[in-house]
A and B are shown apart, each in its own frame.
Chain A
Amino acid sequence: MRQLKSVLVIFILFILPGYLKAGEYPVSAIPKSMLTHANAVIRKEEQVVEIRSLNKVTVRDHYVITILNEAGEQFAYWQDYYSKMRSIDHIDGNLYDALGNKIRSLKKSEIQDEPMASQVSMVMDRRIKYHNFNHKEFPYTVEYDAEVTNDETMFLPDWSPLPGRSISVEKSSFTLVADPDYEIRTRAYNLPKPPVVTINGKAKTMVWEINAQTAIAKEFAAPPLHELAPYISFGASDFKLDDFKGSMRTWQDFGRFISKLNEGLGELPEPIIERVNQIVAGAKTDEEKVNRLYAFLQQNTHYISISLGIGGWRPFPASYVASKGYGDCKALSNYMVALLKVAGIKAYYVLINGGAYQRDIPVDFPASNFNHAICAVPLVNDTIWLECTSQTTPPGYMGSFTGNRHALLITEEGGKLVSTPTYDKRQNIQNCELSGTVDGAGTLNLKAKNFYQAQCSDQLQMRIHAQSREEQLIYLKKNLDIPHYDVVNFDYQETVGRVPSITENLIISAPNYAQVTGKRLFIMPNILNRWDTRLVADTARLYPVELSEEKVEKDSVVLTIPEGYITESLPKPLDIQTPFGQYKSSCSVQGDKLYFSRSLALNKGKFAAADYNNLLNFYEQVFKADRAKAVLVKIE
C-alpha cells in the first residue's frame, strides 16, 4: 500500500509538470480561418442525447470554448434550468490559460442558483443554475461538462452547434441514442453530411458532426442563425409529458394530445353560466354574442402566469379563471372557449408562436414550437380571432404579435393547421394630414389629424390604453421629434373591427420651430413623420437582407406662411422606386401657402446581400428628403 502511494506521488511529480507545459487547448492551435469574425471559438463540443424511455431523456454536453476578447465573454459561461420535470445531474468545469494550461476547476460553491427571472410570470417552479469563471486575461479557454435529465419527450433538444453570431466551431458533434424502433423525425439545415448510423441491439446511434465552421458575422436584418449555419430540429413521434401520452407525427396527432390535456377543464360554475345567458340574451347574431362575451372576458380577467409543473403546458380549469379573475394565455383562452360554449357557439383553443414579425413555423414538420395560446371562433362567413390576454384588443384582430402566420387549431378530430389573418400594405396604413401657420418669429401652430390602421396602430393602441389622459399628455409633451413645443390639445378616436384604426388629433404650438436668421426663415415642412433609420456602409455584406415590415404612409402638410416673404429655396421633389419600397415627396408654395406631400411604401421580402448598399442608399435618401428645409426671405 505504502509503495503504491509513492508511485502515485512520483507519477504526479513527474508527469504533471510536463502536462502543464503543453496544455490540451493552446490558443496557438486554432486555425487562422476560425478567427475571422470570431470573438470566441468552440474548440470542441460533444452533445449526447439518450432517449431512455418516454419519461427519461438524458442530455450530456461537453464543450471547450476559447474566449478571444471581451466581446466573446458572452459565451464564457454555463447555465441551465431545472424544475419538477428536469434535473441537473452533474456539472464540471475547468479554466485554461492561453497556453492551454489549467488554471483552476469549477467549485460547487461558485454555482449560482436562482429562481428563473421572468417579467410575465408571477410564479414559476423553474430555477436557474449559472457559472462563470470571470476570467480576464484574454485569450483564455473554458471547459464545461454537464448532464441533465428530462422527464418528458415532448420537447427534444435541438442541435444548434453555433450558439450565436461571432463564434466559430472547430469541431462539434451531436449523438442521438434511442431504441431502433422509436421514430425520430429530423429537419436539418445547412448540414454537409448525413449522420453516421450504427445499430447495436436495442440502441440505434446517430452521429452528426461538423468541422471548421467559420463564424457568422453580425449584420443588419440578416436571416436567423439557423438558416445560415448548421442546425437540426428534432421532432418526437410518441412522447410523454407527465402522465399524458401523445404523438407528434402529424399536426392532427399533436392536436389530439393537446385536446386530451385540456379535457374536462371547460366546466363553468352555475353563476357564470347564468351570467353568460344574461349577457347574450337579445343578441341578434352570433358575432354580437362573441363580441359581448369577449368584452366580458376583457373586463373581468387579466393575465397572471402561474407556471408550476405541467401547469406550464396545461391550462388551469375554466372554473379557476371564473373564481380568481386571472390566468395565463392557456387558461384565459380555455375559459373563453368555455364561455362561448355556454352561449351555444363553437370555438377552438389555438396554439401559436407569438412575437412581433416572428418567422412562421415549418408547416410540414410537426413539432411543439408554440409559445402562446389564443381562441378562434369560426362563424358562417369567416373566423373571429380572439387574443384573450389583452384587455383592449378589438375582437377579431391579431396585429403584429399573432397575425400573418400559421397556428394550430385544436379540434375534436385533432390538430388543424390554419392561417391567422394577414395584414399587408392594404391594411397597414398611416395617413397624416397637417395644417398650420408659421409666423415671422418662427412659431408654428399646428393641427394634425393622424390616421393609423392595422399594424401601424399596434403600438399606439397599446400605449393609449395603458395611459390615463394625463399620462398621454405627458408622453406627447416628451416624445414628438420637435426641439421645443407644447401640446395644446389632443384626442384619440378608435374604430374597432377586424381591421382596427385610430385617429389622433393633435394641436401643437412650437416656438422657434422655424429658424430665423436675419431676414430668412428656415422651415422643415415634414413636421411629424421623419424616417430615422440610417445604416452603416458595408462593402462586404455576407448574408441576404430580410425585411419584415410592410406598410404605406401618406403625409400632406399645408402651412400658412407669414406675409412679406418670398421663396428662396424649396426641398427638391423626389421619386424613388426600389425593390424595398417607394418614396415620393414634393413641396411647393402657392400664395401664402406652403404645400408638402410625401408617401412611403415599405415592402417585405428577402433581398440579395449585394442589394444592401442600395437599401442603405434608399434609407439615406428618405432620411434626407424628410429633413429638407424650405427657405423664405423677407422682402426688404
Chain B
Amino acid sequence: MPIRTSMLIFTCLMVNLLSVSAQDKPAYKFGKVNLADFSIPVPAFDSGAHAIIIGDVGSSVITPNNKGGFGYEFQRKLRMKIVDINGVDAGKFEIPLYGSKTSTSREELLSLKAVTYNLEAGKIVETKLENNQVFTEKQSDAFQQKKFSLPALKAGSIFEISYIISSDFIFDFRPWEFQHDYPCLWSDYEVEIPEYYDYVFLTQGYQPFHIVKSSQNARTFMIRNNRSAESSLDKTFSLDGFVTQRRWVMKDVPSIKEENFTTTIENHRSKIEFQLSSIKYPQQPVEMVMESWPKVTTDFMKSEDFGSLLNRENNWLDDVIEPVVRGESSPLAKAVKIFNYVRDNFTCKQHSGKYLSTGLKSMLKTKSGNVADMNLLLIAMLKHEKIECYPVILSTRGHGITNPVYPIVDRFNYVICNAVIGSQDYLLDATIPDLAFGRLSTECYNGHARVLTDDAIPIMLSADSVMEKSISMAIVVAEKNQLKGKVTLSPGYFESLDKREFIREKGKAALFEKIQTNYGSDYVISNTGIDSLKKLNDPIKIFYDIALKETDEDIIYFNPMLVQMYKDNPFESAIRRYPVEIPYCIDDTYILNMQLPEGYLVDELPKSTRVKFNGDEGSFEYIVSVNEGTLQLRTRLILAKANFPAEDYGGLRDFFGYVVKKQAEQIVLKKKSN
C-alpha cells in the first residue's frame, strides 16, 4: 500500500476524533428535491460559478459478471444546480463506453435516469429525460458515446442524473474525480473490492479529504457463465471470501481551470485512480498484474506491438541501411546517418503512442507512422549496425506525469531511443523534422522516464535541467543624424527549433517580414541573414542591419531595447492555486553598444539595477553606462528553475512585472547648445 494513502487515513482519523459529529452524508436525499434546495447559494470559495455540483456520489463494486469471472458495477448519482443561463452547458453529458476488439469484454450503460426540477409559481415541476433523447455515437469499433442533454434546463434549475455502468474491465477499475469545471459541495466515492484483487490507490491534487474510511465484510460470490449454456457442465459455483469497502469524501471543492505555464491540468486535479497490482484466487498462485520494472522491459521487448523485432537479425533492413551508412566506419557517424535517414524520410503522424501502429516493415512502404513506429525503426536500424541502444518510454508534458514507483504502463505515451556509443549516452527522437541527433523537444522533459534495459533504469528528464540560453547583441553607430547598426540574435535551442519550423513552412522572407513589422516604420532592416539553419545541432543565428529614422530633434527619446524581450507580464492571473511549470530554465542576455550621435549629450539614463527572486532562483540585471560618447547596456534575465510551487507565484509575477517596467525605460539625448 502506498505510504501516501496510509498517511491520509491517519490524518483523517485524527480529524474524526476531534469532531465526532462531522457530517458523513450529503446534506440532501437523492431523488427528493425540496423548495429549500432551490435557494442553495453559490459557494463563497467559487463565487463566480455558473453551476454547482450539489453532490456527486459514486460507487464501484467488483462482483461476478455472467462470463465466468468478475467485473464491476459503477453507479453514479449526481445532483447539480444551474446558477445562470451559461450554466446550462453543465446539463450536456457524454458517457463513454468501451468495448474490446479482441474479446467479448465490454461496458454497458444500465438504467440511465435524468430529471430536471424547476420552481414555477412556487411549485416544483419535474421534467424527465425521454429515452429517445439519448443518442449513441459510434466513435470506433470498440468505443461509443451516449449523449444527452437535460430537458427544460434554465437558470435556477436543479437536475439529477443516475446511471449504472457494468464493466468487464477490472484492469481499468473506475477512477474518480473530486474536482471539476464547477465547484462541488460533496464528492463521495466508495469501492468494494474482493480479497482476490490487490489494487494500488493513487491520489493526487491539493484538496484535503473530509472522510477516508475502510471496513471488511464477508461475501458469497455466485460465479456463473451464461455464455456456455450449451455445455453439460454446471458452470455455476459459489465462492466465499472477504471484501474491503473503502470510501473517500471531499467537501467544498473549488473548480479547477488551466492557466499559462501548465503541463496539463490533469496533473493537478484532485482525483483517485486504481491500478490492479495482483490477483490471488483461492487455491491458486498469485498472479502479478502490475509487474516489477524488469518484467515491464521483458513484456515490452517481447510484444509484437513493440520490441519483438528488435532482437532479431532483421536482414530485411540490409538493403535499406547499406546506402545510408556507406563509407562510414565509426559507430557515431553511422548512428548519426541512420538517425538523419529516419528523421528525414518518414512522417510522424501521431506524436503519441507507445505501441506500433504501422509496423516496422510496412513503414518502409508507407513512409509514415506514429512515434513508436519511427523511433523503434531507428532502434532496429542502429542495432542492425551493432550499436548498443534501448527504447526509453516516457509521458509527454501534455499527457501527464508517470509514477516512478509503480510500473503503470498506461501512463506512458511516447518512445525515444537511448544509444550508448563509446562511453557516451545519447537520447534520440527522430520524429521531429528539425531536431538534431541527441536533442529532445520540450515535451519530453516531463520527469520520470524508463530506459528499457533488462533492469529498466529510471532516468529523470526534468525541465529544471534544461537551460534555454539566448544572447542578443546590437551595435549602433551614428552617421550624421542617423543611427545605424547591426543586430545579431542567438536564440536558444528550443526557440531555434520553432523558428526552423516557421522558416520551413513559410520561408525566410516571412520571418524577416515579421521582424520588420514588429519594428514599425521608424526602423528599417536590411542585409538580413540566418546562420546554422541546416546545422541542426546548433541554435540558429539571425542577423540584420538596422537603420533608425533620421532626426534632428533637439531631444531624442530612445528605448535602448532594440530587441524586445518582455513587453507584458506573462503571468497574467492575480492568483494561482497550483504550481507553475515553465518548459525550461531561462538565461536571456541583451547587449547594446551604441555610439552617440554627434552633437548630442546623454541627458538622462535609466538606473542600473540588479534584482533577485527567491535567493538565486531568479535574477535580473540592467547595467547601463556612458563612456566617451559610447553607451553600453547589458541586461540579463535568469530563471535557474523551471518549476515553481504555487506559493512562489506572487513573487514570480512581481519579478516579471519589474522586468517589464525596466525594459520599457527610455534614454534621453539632448542636442548640445552651441
Please list the residues of chain A having a beta carbon within 8 angstroms of any beta carbon in chain B. Answer: 70-71, 103-104, 110, 114-115, 122-123, 133-137, 299-302, 304, 306, 323-326, 391-392, 465-471, 474, 477-478, 483-484, 512, 515, 517-520, 522, 534-537, 568-569, 620, 623-624, 629, 631
Contacts and interface: CB of A to CB of B under 8 A. Distances in A.
B151 A324 contact: yes
A468 B50 contact: yes
Contacts of A71: 505-506
Contacts of B518: 534
B101 interface: no
A104 B366 contact: yes
Contacts of A466: 86
A536 B514 CA distance: 8
A512 B568 CA distance: 13
Contacts of A325: 116, 127, 151-154
A517 B92 contact: no
B235 interface: no
B153 A123 contact: no
A70 B344 CA distance: 13
A114 B137 CA distance: 10
A464 to B, nearest CB: 11
Interface of B: 47-50, 83-86, 88, 92, 116, 127, 133, 135, 137-139, 147, 149, 151-155, 344-347, 349, 365-368, 504-506, 513-514, 516-518, 520-522, 555, 557, 567-569, 572-574, 604-606, 657, 660-661, 664-668
Contact of A517 (B137, B344, B666): B666
B557 A631 contact: yes
A477 B48 CA distance: 15
A325 B569 CA distance: 44
A515 B607 CA distance: 12
B574 A477 contact: yes
A294 to B, nearest CB: 14
A137 B506 CA distance: 18
29 contacts: A71-B505, A114-B139, A122-B92, A122-B149, A133-B368, A302-B85, A302-B153, A323-B127, A323-B151, A324-B151, A325-B116, A466-B86, A467-B86, A468-B48, A468-B50, A470-B48, A477-B574, A478-B572, A478-B573, A483-B569, A483-B660, A483-B664, A484-B660, A520-B604, A520-B666, A536-B513, A536-B516, A624-B521, A631-B557
Contacts of A568: 555
Contacts of A302: 85, 88, 153-154
A616 to B, nearest CB: 9
Contacts of B137: 115, 123
A518 B518 CA distance: 28
Nearest to A392: B85
Contacts of B660: 483-484
B345 A137 contact: yes
B48 A123 contact: no
Nearest to A325: B152
Given A104-B366, A134-B368, 10 more contacts: A70-B505, A115-B139, A325-B152, A326-B151, A326-B153, A477-B573, A478-B572, A518-B668, A520-B604, A535-B517
Nearest to B566: A483
Nearest to B120: A275
A2 B664 CA distance: 87
A205 to B, nearest CB: 39
A71 B502 CA distance: 11
A46 B514 CA distance: 40
A424 B344 CA distance: 54
A102 to B, nearest CB: 12
Contacts, number: 148
A104 B154 CA distance: 56
Contacts of B133: 324
Contacts of B365: 103-104
Contacts of A484: 569, 657, 660-661
B668 A517 contact: yes
Contact of A300 (B149, B154, B513, B604): B154
B655 to A, nearest CB: 12
B375 to A, nearest CB: 16
Contacts of B139: 114-115
Ranked 8 nearest A-B pairs via Cβ: A470-B48, A134-B368, A468-B48, A325-B152, A478-B572, A518-B604, A123-B135, A136-B347
Contact of A134 (B47, B88, B367): B367
Given A71-B505, A519-B604, A299 B521 contact: no
A306 B135 contact: yes
A407 B151 CA distance: 31
A14 B290 CA distance: 58
A392 B85 CA distance: 9
Contacts of A70: 504-505
B92 A304 contact: yes
A534 B347 contact: no
B555 A569 contact: yes
Contacts of B568: 483
A536 to B, nearest CB: 5
Contacts of A110: 366
B577 to A, nearest CB: 13
A105 to B, nearest CB: 10
Nearest to B606: A517
A520 B557 CA distance: 11
Nearest to A486: B574
A132 to B, nearest CB: 8
Contact of A468 (B84, B149, B367, B505): B84
A299 B149 contact: no
Nearest to A470: B48
A471 B48 contact: yes
Contacts of B135: 122-123, 306
A143 B661 CA distance: 57
Nearest to A299: B154
Contacts of A471: 48
A323 B153 CA distance: 10
Contacts of B151: 323-326
A569 B368 contact: no
Nearest to A483: B660
Contacts of B345: 136-137
Given A71-B506, A300-B154, A519-B604, A537 B567 contact: no
A517 to B, nearest CB: 5
Contact of A534 (B149, B517, B555, B668): B517
A518 B557 CA distance: 13
Contacts of B606: 517
A512 B569 CA distance: 13
A122 B116 CA distance: 19
B520 A624 contact: yes
A474 B575 CA distance: 10
User: Looking at B50, B133, B572, B660, which has the most chain A CB atoms within 10 Å of its CB?
Assistant: B133
Contacts of A326: 149, 151, 153
Contacts of A469: 48
Given A115-B139, A326-B151, A483 B574 contact: no
A515 B661 CA distance: 8
A522 B346 contact: no
A606 to B, nearest CB: 24
A569 B557 contact: yes
B599 to A, nearest CB: 18
A618 to B, nearest CB: 12
Nearest to B129: A324
Contacts of A324: 133, 151-152
Contacts of B368: 133-136
Nearest to A278: B121
A135 B513 CA distance: 30
Contacts of B666: 515, 517, 520, 522
A468 B85 CA distance: 11
Contact of B346 (A136, A467, A519): A136
Contacts of B665: 515, 517
Given A323-B152, A326-B153, A522-B666, A483 B48 contact: no
Nearest to A516: B665
Nearest to A536: B513
